[in-house]
Chain A
């Protein structure tokens, strides 16, 4: 069987790798972005000089040959679903038996005047990075529109080269549509500590043209203020990159509509990763999740389905991570910015304002629901097991050392979290043991 995958991001590549593990099918990956798979999440580190493009490739170039995965560096112009045929930019055709669409996202543009000027761009692809690099010379100021994960990465990128940055954020605090208020405020302050000109609660009105089709400033809607700049980063989210499929018999909405087996309305055509939109997402999950981890899980699930093991996509317990300048962020389970009525949380914050732990539990049953961690590392498997088994808050707190994943010799804050709980509830519970890897393993194997 001939499996063709459009897109060489984490979803497509994971699908290819697992199809190879499970079968002898012919596998082809087509991409017009880069010749080889690289880690999109590491784009910022190339710009900052932490890594070279070569270092962002998770596999050496010979890997693909060795695993009999054909790589085609070309753009897919059109898909003829009836003939099971792709038209490539080179003019060549390519036939498939099974087609996997894993084309990822593109940066959102909301019709701002001047959004297509020179010096205005999002950050998603290698091309975007190259564009940003080419426009970085002599920059006196960059303005970033949007306060999500890519926005803050872009701010860090420019700051690493001492380029002044203004960030326009629609929310009242950084990412407060996702983060609870305390964490959101903490990150907002951290952004300011890094000398970023963070403007909260403002929207972009327009981008100014210098007369030659090049951006030279932005205007803020709320205040009318004009900020001169030579680069505008558009980071107000991403949406599925499926323009080339729009006028076809493929069922699309914002993304390519798929069922729980990641199949589209057309037989033998599947979609995974950022570009897929789930018609029936799991409770509490969004139809489109443009996340590295879910892309990877979809890729693996689809490989099973294509190779004859019919398995519905189940993303399991939510987890994610990020890094905001110097503060690492991990989340396990449900920690919501606007929690439902039954959610309660124990929130501890370090006095230095760069570390916090939030443990969310059910107010009535005291069952554990989620963890939100800033500047502190917790062990994924331990948190997941507690959440899955609906462990009681007091149990979790007594065994909190099991979750601690900070490097050796770091201060441990389990006692302080516990003390906070005792103070708030008046209950008397004690910490059971210190951080110890043997205990963790025994706990996980139980």
Chain B
């Protein structure tokens, strides 16, 4: 490693360390004006409780004890309001505006904690902002820039020697999969307010899928190849995975514990939208920085390959402009926050009542957004996918794809290529698509009829569970947290309902395929190894068969890493309906050797 790279890496790690450390570098003091509420009677009740408990103006050295204190305030106020409500609610106030519901407590705790910081972080936000992100970006670039000095070409040296990228042994991978699944389901029970019905249904569906794969698809005895060399595992990878998983859990479900981070980006948010930052702004900010910095790394690595360069610029652009800047600017212009490239069912709350209400009440811009979103679903996806395959979205536009192709590139080789994984993939991803469609139909039914209960299902509960299980747990915690454990496209491959929809179009009606070059394949396996979607590309290449797979995101890396020039991404109409049938490898027939059978 270049000396500059070592220094850069050290600076980057120091910046990340300071970022994590900053979570504990603040103190908190509840004051009347930092107590966040949405109504005066809540405020009065909470202040009363604060006086009772002697919390007001008390300084806390860390957010854990502070949050505990605020929660106990809220509980006391909740009880008191509950009791008063029994004696009658003031005229003109709704029951749930008066009572203090659990979901409101969550927001109050978060906002109050964010506002009550008085310590080091709150006093030095700008300094910390510049130090952490300035150093982090500088360190990362110092690591990346020397890559441009190497001779251009495929440089995957040492990937399977690195403790960061070599992946896990099968046992370790199984351990992480099972504990994460069980942990998330248990947490889900809590999240649903101790309702066990949907977590149990989910468990049953998981059991059913395992049964189907093992017995109906006869995969039980087909031992998949080991995930990594038999006795080594990627310890740095595991640490990175755990950090990412922890980040997502805090971000989605415990944002009150990361208010120090959110305070740091307040100045940025205020510059852009005029509003203080939320946890989602923090996420967008980090996401964009990572996509840009790691995008530069991707370009350095594949700078001999124009397809990769254009594609990487594309995801960097769509993340920065469409996912980050434009929505914030829209808010500044008093328009709804809207990501013009996010498409249902990936954008699963597009048809939720609050979104439909916002869009329909925001004038012509809102109506345009509604119209645009529906056009993308009904016409954009099938038509563009017909011409170019699902790659136009998954590896050129999508934010999840953007992160996977930039930050996730060092982990692309960790996808499981076994037949068994493919069987799992088909059940799970199409299962999520079905879930998304049912959930959305229920939500729309409720929206138009006002009736929330259909058969045994409550549309609010179903959509909350979908948001938890798919929107947060699968897409975020597993989707990104598992980059170093199961590869960078775990979400895209197993979970994304939009990828499933795009994939169906790609498989059944698209001009796209990967062609193979006659008999030139040497079965080396670079293509399969570096396929982030876990497609066994070699299986097709060595028999000279065009690759038509619904999961292929057209990243083009199989073609890039092929040492014999065998693979090429193509669009063609002539053989569109029998793209996958022909094999072009040299075959022996009774008359002569023929290339085309």
Contacts and interface: CB of A to CB of B under 8 A. Distances in A.
Interface in B552-584: 556, 559-560, 563-565, 568-575, 584
B162 to A, nearest CB: 7
Contact of A39 (B157, B158, B517, B522): B522
B246 interface: no
B595 A49 contact: no
A102 to B, nearest CB: 16
B146 interface: no
B525 A314 contact: no
Given A52-B229, A60-B224, A297 B160 contact: no
A300 B159 contact: no
A326 B153 contact: yes
B378 interface: no
Given A315-B593, A407-B560, A42 B526 contact: yes
Interface in B270-326: 304-307, 310
Interface in B195-230: 221-226, 228-229
Contact of B565 (A51, A330, A411): A330
Given A193-B151, A300-B587, A381-B584, A52 B517 contact: no
Contacts of B418: 60
B152 interface: yes
B457 interface: no
A50 B305 CA distance: 19
Contact of A381 (B518, B570, B572, B588): B518
Contacts of A410: 305-307
Given A49-B161, A49-B162, A61 B587 contact: no
Residue with the highest number of chain B CB atoms closer than 10 Å, among A58, A409, A410: A58
Interface in B524-572: 524-526, 528-529, 538-539, 542, 556, 559-560, 563-565, 568-572
Interface string A388-427: 0000000000000000011111110000000000000000
Contacts of B584: 380-381
Nearest to A302: B588
A301 B564 CA distance: 24
Contacts of B229: 52-54
Nearest to A194: B151
A315 B593 CA distance: 7
Given A60-B418, A438-B573, A323 B563 contact: yes
A54 B157 CA distance: 17
B588 A50 contact: no
Given A49-B159, A58-B525, A437-B515, A321 B520 contact: yes
Contacts of A301: 588
Interface in A355-401: 377-381, 384
A331 B529 CA distance: 26
A51 B522 contact: no
Contacts of A194: 151
B523 A61 contact: no
Given A321-B520, A407-B305, A442 B157 contact: no
Interface string A300-344: 110010000101001110010111011010100000000000000
B518 A379 contact: yes
A407 B157 contact: no
A444 interface: yes
A150 to B, nearest CB: 14
B574 A60 contact: no
A42 B224 CA distance: 20
A441 interface: yes
Interface in A121-159: none
A407 B151 contact: no
Contact of B529 (A41, A50, A293, A377): A50
Contact of B225 (A54, A309, A326, A438): A54
B223 A61 contact: yes
Contact of A326 (B154, B156, B160): B154
Contacts of B231: none
B570 A10 contact: no
B568 A297 contact: no
A297 B586 CA distance: 8
B225 A61 contact: yes
Contacts of B522: 39, 41-42, 292, 321
Contacts of A52: 160, 226, 228-229
Given A39-B523, A304-B588, A438-B573, A379 B517 contact: yes
A407 B556 contact: yes
Nearest to A17: B543
Nearest to A50: B156
A160 interface: yes
Given A193-B151, A304-B588, A50 B574 contact: no
Given A49-B158, A321-B520, A323-B563, A54 B593 contact: no
Given A293-B519, A380-B517, A437-B570, A321 B157 contact: no
Contacts of B568: 377, 405-407
A441 B572 contact: yes
B590 interface: yes
B168 to A, nearest CB: 12
Contacts of A437: 515, 570-572, 574
A408 B156 CA distance: 22
Given A54-B226, A407-B556, A409-B306, A325 B153 contact: yes
A59 B119 CA distance: 60
Interface in B318-367: none
A314 B591 CA distance: 10
A112 interface: no
Contacts of A55: 225, 525, 528-529
Given A325-B153, A380-B519, A384-B595, A39 B565 contact: no
Contacts of B307: 407-410
Contact of A380 (B222, B520, B556): B520
B137 to A, nearest CB: 28
B40 interface: no
A279 interface: no
A34 to B, nearest CB: 14
A328 B564 CA distance: 6
A172 interface: no
B33 interface: no
B588 A438 contact: no
Contacts of A441: 572, 574-575
Contacts of B565: 321, 328, 330, 377-378, 405
B596 A330 contact: no
Interface in A262-300: 292-293, 296-297, 300
A219 B152 CA distance: 34
A42 B575 contact: no
A221 interface: no
B525 A56 contact: yes
A321 B595 contact: no
A406 B224 CA distance: 34
B306 A50 contact: no
Contacts of A94: none
A62 interface: yes
A340 B520 CA distance: 27
B593 A62 contact: no
Given A49-B159, A326-B154, A407 B517 contact: no
B91 interface: no
B419 A60 contact: yes
Interface of A: 10, 39, 41-42, 45, 48-58, 60-62, 160-161, 193-194, 292-293, 296-297, 300-301, 304, 309, 311, 314-316, 319, 321-323, 325-326, 328, 330, 377-381, 384, 405-411, 437-438, 440-442, 444
7 contacts: A39-B523, A48-B157, A56-B524, A323-B563, A406-B568, A407-B305, A442-B574
Given A54-B225, A316-B586, 13 more contacts: A42-B526, A49-B162, A51-B529, A57-B525, A194-B151, A296-B586, A319-B519, A321-B564, A328-B565, A379-B517, A406-B568, A408-B307, A441-B574
Nearest 4 A/B pairs, CB to CB: A380-B518, A326-B153, A377-B565, A437-B572
